[in-house]
Chains A and B, each alone.
Chain A
Amino acid sequence: MMSKTWQKPLLAVLLVLAIVFPMLAANDYYIYVMSLAYIMAIAAVGLNLILGYTGQLNLAHAGFMAIGAYTVGILTVDYGVPYWVAFVVAGALSAIIGFFAGLLSLRLKGHFFSIFTLCVGFMIYLIIEKWDALTHGTVGIIDIPAPTGVGPIRFDNTWAQYYLVLFFLVVSLWLMSRIVNSLLGRAFIAIRNGEDLAETLGINLMRTKVLAFVLSTFYAGMAGALYAGFVRFIGPAMALESHTFDMIAFILVGGIGTLFGPLLGAILLTWLTQSLQFLQDFRMIVFGPLLILLVMFFPQGLIGYWRERQARRAAASVQDRRLQRSVVGPQQEVGTNA
């Protein structure tokens, strides 16, 4: 198909742009902001799996990101565990808690599921805020060590950390593209399209949904673990549902149920927020109408809009070729008969 032929070069260009970005950035602060956008993108890519592909609006996603961040914070600061060990534990723990939360919450459907996960997220927030002895409570955790070096590479400056985050972003996207383009991804999409029909096609609803949920919380946990090592201080507020809504905004702007939508949304909205910083609280006056316009004219998000056009064009070109063949075909027959 047409879109596929120039997908690869386009991806290569994007990757090169991402790699040279620090060299073009005017100062380290821009690199810092971009790295943060990438981390949020990893979390949003995970949320997109359960929300965009499987059709389940999980409002506890920021909570799982906080679980990942706090796992790293607590283990490295209070127990002296090396960063990378804590990093792996963070992913695993988020996924394990995600498994049990998913098993419980996915018994509910639609809005009820969303409301339940809203409560799950708030419970995570409350536990983090109130359990002083473990989580340092409202004070949060400060002085989290930066990721320790791997071989000759050290991650103690913004540049190195940028490339570290970029590496994980690329791996996240690569793994997600495998998942959503596989038979498994098709099963997720079938559930989003209609749970009854999916079940009729022999898809085990509960098992498939829990798998999507666990994978998405794993992504959240990894993003949280990166966040802890990058920002170096964390507070309970990161578990609040407002951060989940930020990620939902990234997904909606970029394109729900598309691979690169969450990344595009995270980058666009992060920079938009940055560039409107001078307006302080008034920035919402610009921000709100922009979002409304976007939802009105690009309800599928930017990439969703682009993809739909591509798909339509591909379908039309197949049709054209068939039409041409059917027009040419009979004429030739007439010719040979004569």
Chain B
Amino acid sequence: MLEIQGLTKRFGGLTAVRDVTTTFDKGRINAIIGPNGAGKTTFFNLVSGYHKPTSGRIIFDGQDVTGLRPDQVAKLGVARTFQSTTLFDKATVLDNLIVGHRLRTTSTFWDVVLNTSRLREDEHRCRAKAEEVLDFVGLSSVAHHLAADISQEERKRVAFALALATDPKIVLLDEPAGGVNPEETLGLAELIRKMIRKGLTVCLIEHKMDMIMSLADKIVVLDHGEMIAEGTPAQIRSDQRVIEAYLGADYAAA
């Protein structure tokens, strides 16, 4: 589904991502872990088109997407969430989601001026999609709440919903459980499994090791921009380099 070949990103003298080669398989939950500053978010930024790689290639669904703009990558089916989601606080949750499906519509400025049937159809489709994804993430009950009034956990779910509204094939989740309590974390993990059951591929960055170890099919470990290990949770847990760089002896013993 997603193939990364020798991906490198340098910012001046700093190499944020160095020669990473890996693959993320379709229908799996892939996790990227590593200490702060390991290059995890930069890696996402490269895949989703925010940064142009210094070298290396990104192949998505058999197509070379290296150097494409974020909106082009999104149209091909790569969605992502951010650590914090900038919503329009004065509009309802549903209102915030409608624009998420805009990229699958074709109406132009002139459709707007002339109020064509194509525009009305597009708007209807976007609204239906917003309702569908809101239902999928379990937030139908807050559809008409102002975005300002929802909880942190609900905000995380709205971020998922926005990503899903773009009709993606793969979803990149940047710390999906950051800042939510353990109970809510379980709920979000279940939502990620639900996305897999729907046929999506997931790639996530997360610091909550319990969640990762029980959720991920494959883990990639970054440290100082380099991939120091990849494999199943069991392999990662017993990897000496990972223990030294990130997990710590305590976790390995546990």
Query: Are the CB atoms of A187 and B48 closer together than 8 Å?
Result: no
- Chain B proximity mask over A222-251: 1 for CB below 8 Å, otherwise 0: 000000000000000000000000000000
Interface residues on B, range: 35 or more
Query: Are the CB atoms of B90 and A178 closer together than 8 Å?
Result: no
A178 cross-chain contacts in B, Cβ below 8 A: 112-113, 115
How many chain A residues touch B (CB < 8 A): the figure is 35
Out of A183, A184, A197, A322, which one reaches B86, CB within 8 Å? A197
Q: Which of B41-84 contact A (CB under 8 A)?
A: 48-50, 69-71, 74-75, 79-80, 82
Out of A203, A211, A314, A322, which one reaches B103, CB within 8 Å? A203
Query: Are the CB atoms of B126 and A312 closer together than 8 Å?
Result: no
Out of A193, A203, A314, A319, which one reaches B71, CB within 8 Å? A203
Out of A175, A197, A198, A308, which one reaches B90, CB within 8 Å? A308
Q: A178-B112, A202-B74 are in contact. Are A307 and B90 (CB under 8 A)?
A: yes
A190 cross-chain contacts in B, Cβ below 8 A: 88, 99, 102
Query: Are the CB atoms of A200 and B74 closer together than 8 Å?
Result: yes
Query: Are the CB atoms of A196 and B144 closer together than 8 Å?
Result: no
Q: What's the least CB distance linking B52 to chain A, in Å? A: 14
Q: A186-B98, A211-B109 are in contact. Are A202 and B115 (CB under 8 A)?
A: no
B162 at the interface (CB under 8 A from A): yes
Q: What's the least CB distance linking A326 to chain B, in Å? A: 10
Q: What's the least CB distance linking A161 to chain B, in Å? A: 27
B152 cross-chain contacts in A, Cβ below 8 A: none
Query: Are the CB atoms of B113 and A183 closer together than 8 Å?
Result: no
Q: What's the least CB distance linking B68 to chain A, in Å? A: 11
B126 cross-chain contacts in A, Cβ below 8 A: 183
B85 cross-chain contacts in A, Cβ below 8 A: 197
- Chain B proximity mask over A299-316: 1 for CB below 8 Å, otherwise 0: 010001001100110110
Nearest to A199 among chain B residues (CB) is: B70
Distance A314 CA – B85 CA, assembled complex (angstroms): 24
A194 at the interface (CB under 8 A from B): yes
- Chain B proximity mask over A160-194: 1 for CB below 8 Å, otherwise 0: 00000000000000010011001110110110111
Distance A175 CA – B145 CA, assembled complex (angstroms): 29
Q: What's the least CB distance linking A221 to chain B, in Å? A: 17
Out of B86, B103, B144, which one reaches A193, CB within 8 Å? B86
A3 cross-chain contacts in B, Cβ below 8 A: none
B201 at the interface (CB under 8 A from A): no
Nearest to A211 among chain B residues (CB) is: B109
Q: What's the least CB distance linking A150 to chain B, in Å? A: 22
- Interface residues, chain A, with chain B CB atoms under 8 Å away: 175, 178-179, 182-184, 186-187, 189-190, 192-194, 196-205, 211, 300, 304, 307-308, 311-312, 314-315, 318-319, 322
